[in-house]
Amino acid sequence: MTNSIAINGATIVAENNTFKKGSLYIENDIISSVHSNQTDASPHTLEINLPESYTVLPGFIDVHIHGAGGADMMDATPNSLSTISSYLVKEGTTSFLATTITHDSEKISEALENAANYIYKEQTNASLIGIHLEGPFINSKRAGAQPINHIKVPSLQTFVNWVKKSNQTIKLVTLAPEMDGGLELTSYIANKNIVASIGHSDASNEEVLSAIKVGATHITHLYNGMRGFHHREPGVAGTALSESKLFVELIADGIHVHPNILKATYLAKKADRIVLITDSIRAKWLEEGQYELGGQLVHYYQGKAVLENGALAGSVLKMNEAVHNMIQFSGCSIEEASMMASQNPAKQLGIFHKVGSISAGKDADITILNENYQVIMTICKGKIVHDARSDFHENY
C-alpha cells in the first residue's frame, strides 16, 4: 500500500508559486506534485481538506535553538533531544540544529557526542540535522548570556577535536573573528563547508570584512551580543547590513530587536538574506519561573528570559510566532517570511535540494497554519506528527 496524503483547498506556498485552493500530494514521504486545483486521488490516499484561509508552508528550519519543554542540548542525553524534537513540531519546526553554549571542554564534548549519536538514529518528530557550536571562541566584551569563565581563545586543535567528537555533524559555528587565531579558525571552518558565523563579537568594520574574505557568511542573532551600529564605525551590526553576502539571524520576538529595527533590517537586507531563529531555551512551552542555562540561573517572566544581572538569556519564542511577528512588524509577505524560516536556512546548510521549499521530489516536511498563524498540522518526512485540528474545533 502506498503511503499517500493529499492536502486540498488551502493556500499553498510552493517554491515558485502560491496556489489558492491548491492541492499538494505526498507519496512515500516525498512531495510528488503541487497543483492549482484538486485532482482525483488514489483510493488509499489520506485526504485532508482545508479552508482557503489556511496556509501550507515548507517546514520551518531553526538553526539556533538551545532547548524547549524543560530540555536543553547541553543536558547531553538522548531523552533531552527527543523532548526538544517533540515540542518543536507544535510550532511548525521540522528540522533544527541543536545549539551549544560556552562551557568547559568536557561538557561540550559530551553534548557533541550525544547529539552525533542521536542524529544517526531513526527520528520521528523534528529532525536533528546537525549542531550549531555557539562559543566558546567568542569575545568576553560581548558575552551576553554566554558564561564568561568558559570563554576560550580560538583554537584550531580544540575545534578539530570537537569535529571528531561530533562525527562531522557540526554545521554552523559562532565565533569572534577579531580574537587571536580567529581568522585562521574562520578560514578552516569555511574550507570544511561549515557555516562560519560572526557572533558575540566586538569586531570593527575592517575586522568583519577580513572575516568575510576568509569565508564568513553568517551573522549570529543580529544586533544581540555584538558591537552595534555607529555612523562612523559600523561595527558588526552595520557591516552586516551593508554586506550583501552575509545572511543574518533575527530573533523576531519584539524583545531582542525592536519591531521598527526588524522592519529596517528587512528593508536593508531583503528577505533572501534573513534567517529567522528562536534562540530558545528549556523554558519554552513551560510556565514562567526559574530555569537553567549553561549553569546559570535564568528568570522567565513577562514573556522574556533574563539572567540575574538582567541580561537577556535566549528566548521562549516559537517559530510560528517568529513568522507572524516578522509579517506584522516588517510588512513582508507570507512568502517572504517562509523564505526566512525555511528556504534561507536550508540554502545556508546546503540542504535546499532536499528541504526548505514545497517542490516535487523534496522531502515532505510541511507546516499548516490557520489564519491566526497557529500551527494546525506538522508533517515530517511524510508522517503527520502533530495534528491540532481538534484543538481549534476544525472539521474539514
Q: pLDDT tens for residues 361-387?
A: 999 999 999 999 999 999 999 999 999
Do 186 and 131 sit in the same domain of this protein? Answer: yes
Q: Which residues are annotated as a binding site for Zn(2+)?
A: 134, 200, 221
Whole-angstrom distance, CA of residue 105 vs CA of residue 115: 15
The predicted-structure confidence for 34-62, as pLDDT tens digits, reads as follows 988 776 667 788 999 999 999 999 999 99
Report the mean per-residue pLDDT for the chain: 95
Contact status, residue 151 vs residue 143, Cβ threshold 8 Å: yes
Residue range 248-271: mean pLDDT, rounded: 98
Span 317-332, mean pLDDT? 98
pLDDT in tens, 148-170: 999 999 999 999 999 999 999 99
Check whether residue 272 and residue 380 sit in a common domain. Answer: no
- Assigned C-alpha cell, 171: 554545521
131 and 232, same domain (yes or no): yes
pLDDT of residue 391: 85
At 41 the pLDDT is: 67
As a whole-number percent, the residues of the chain with pLDDT over 70 amount to 97
**One-letter amino acid for residue 213 of the chain:** K
pLDDT for res 213: 98
User: Looking at the DSSP assignment, which residues form a beta bridge with residue 277?
Assistant: 251
> Does 235 lie in the same domain as 91?
yes
Task: Assess contact for 356 and 343: CB atoms under 8 A.
Answer: yes
40 and 129 share one domain: no
What mean pLDDT comes out for the span 112-138?
96
65-89: per-residue pLDDT in tens?
Answer: 999 999 999 999 999 999 999 999 9
The C-alpha cell at 126 is: 523534528
Q: Indicate which CATH number applies to the domain containing 47.
A: 2.30.40.10
Please tell me the distance from the alpha carbon of residue 32 to that of residue 157, in angstroms, as a whole number: 45
pLDDT of 2: 54
291 alpha carbon, distance to own chain's centre: 22
Question: Which residues does 320 contact at the CB level (< 8 Å), separation at least 6?
Answer: 60, 91, 92, 367, 369, 373, 374, 375
pLDDT of 184 higher than 70: yes
Write the pLDDT tens digit of every residue in 276-319.
999 999 999 999 999 999 999 999 999 999 999 999 999 999 99
The predicted pLDDT at position 37 comes to 76
The number of beta carbons lying within 10 Å of the beta carbon of residue 289 is: 10
The single-letter DSSP state of residue 340 is I
- Residue 260 amino acid letter: N
Interatomic CA distance for residues 255 and 215, integer angstroms: 31
Count CB-CB contacts under 10 A for residue 232: 6
Contact 212/236 with Cβ under 8 angstroms? no
Indicate whether 98 and 228 sit together in one domain: yes
Section 381-395 average pLDDT: 85
User: 267 and 388: one domain?
Assistant: no
**pLDDT tier for residue 209 given thresholds of 50, 70 and 90:** very high
pLDDT digits (tens, 9 = 90+) for 229-249: 999 999 999 999 999 999 999
Q: Quick check: 394 pLDDT over 60?
A: no
Q: State whether 212 and 326 are in the same domain.
A: yes
Domain end, chosen from 315, 333, 349, is at 349
Question: Exactly one of 279, 363, 387, 391 is catalytic; which is it?
Answer: 279
- Cβ pair 174, 199 in contact under 8 A: yes
CB-CB contact of 87 with 69 (8 Å): yes
Residue ranges for the known binding site are 134, 145, 200, 221, 224-225, 232, 256, 312-314
CATH code assigned at 219: 3.20.20.140
Q: Active site includes 104?
A: no
Closest of 66, 81, 141, 85 to residue 113, by C-alpha: 81
The pLDDT score that the predictor gives to residue 329 is: 98
pLDDT surpassing 50 at residue 1: no
Q: Across-strand partners of 46?
A: 5
The answer to whether residue 359 scores a pLDDT higher than 80 is yes
| Same domain (yes/no): 74, 221 | yes
Any alpha helices (H) in the chain, and if so which ranges? 78-88, 105-119, 156-165, 182-191, 205-213, 235-242, 259-269, 319-330, 334-338, 344-349
Alpha-carbon span 338 to 13, nearest angstrom: 8
Rounded Cα distance, 391 and 48, in Å: 16
Q: How many domains does the chain have?
A: 2
Q: What mean pLDDT do residues 98-125 have?
A: 96
Domain range for 96 is: 60-349
Annotated binding site for substrate: 145, 224-225, 232, 256, 312-314
Residues 6 or more apart whose CB falls under 8 angstroms from that of 106 comprise: none
Residue 261 to residue 269: CA distance in whole angstroms: 12
Q: Which helix (H) or strand (E) holds 368?
A: strand 366-369
Contact 356, 31 (CB under 8 A): no
Do residue 52 and residue 64 come from a single domain?
A: no
Interhelix angle 182-191/205-213, rounded to 10 degrees, is 30
Do 50 and 123 belong to one domain? Answer: no
C-beta separation of 305 from 314 below 8 A: yes
Are 125 and 105 within one domain?
A: yes
Closest-CA residue to 153 (of 132, 134, 178, 181): 181
